[in-house]
């Protein structure tokens, strides 16, 4: 993880795990999840976004561009910010069910199993949100 906008990262104060379970079919929930993630990144909070279920498709190039929401920052800009200052992973089972391979996803996105998700959640001071 690169760190916050000001370059500092302090996981001792806690981190945020955001699971996104919806894709382009739910533009408001997608945008809300990434807006919260981007705001946390900008505040210096370590952020880990986990894409599962239909949210997995958001890791594919161009997919977020089709998610439009009035009065909201474009989803691709929010995802770029998370990729720069946080981390973004796709659930390996969700990816497999959708035939998404590591070479298919945006640069910086990883595909990881449930053990990685649980490890992130169990770190001291971690808060979890699910959209």
DSSP letter string over 97-122? HTT--GGGSPTTEEEE-HHHHHHHHT
The pLDDT of residue 67 is: 93
Digit-by-digit pLDDT tens for the chain (131 residues) are 344 444 444 455 689 999 999 999 999 999 999 999 999 999 999 999 999 999 999 999 999 999 999 999 999 999 999 999 999 999 999 999 999 999 999 999 999 999 999 999 999 999 999 99
Classify strands 126-130 and 47-51 as parallel, antiparallel or unpaired: unpaired
CA 5 to chain centre: 17
The CA distances from residue 26 to 8, 18, 44, 100, 106, in Å, are 33, 16, 28, 20, 20
Q: Partners of 91 in the beta sheet? A: 112
pLDDT value for 12: 57
Tokens at 129, concatenated: 């949100």
Angle at 53 between CA 22 and CA 20, to 5 degrees: 45
pTM for this entry: 0.88
Model pLDDT, residue 99: 98
């Amino acid at each position: 993880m690169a760190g916050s906008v000001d370059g500092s990262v302090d996981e001792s104060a806690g981190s945020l795990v955001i699971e996104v379970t919806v894709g382009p079919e739910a533009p408001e929930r997608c945008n809300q999840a990434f807006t919260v993630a981007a705001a946390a990144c900008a505040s210096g909070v370590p952020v880990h976004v986990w894409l599962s279920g239909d949210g997995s498709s958001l890791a594919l190039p161009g997919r977020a561009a089709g998610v439009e929401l009035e009065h909201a920052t474009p989803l691709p800009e929010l995802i770029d910010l998370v990729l720069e200052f946080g981390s973004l992973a796709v659930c390996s089972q969700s990816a497999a069910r959708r035939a998404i391979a590591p070479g298919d996803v945006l640069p910086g996105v990883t595909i990881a199993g449930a053990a990685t998700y649980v490890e992130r959640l169990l770190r001291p001071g971690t808060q979890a949100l699910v959209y």
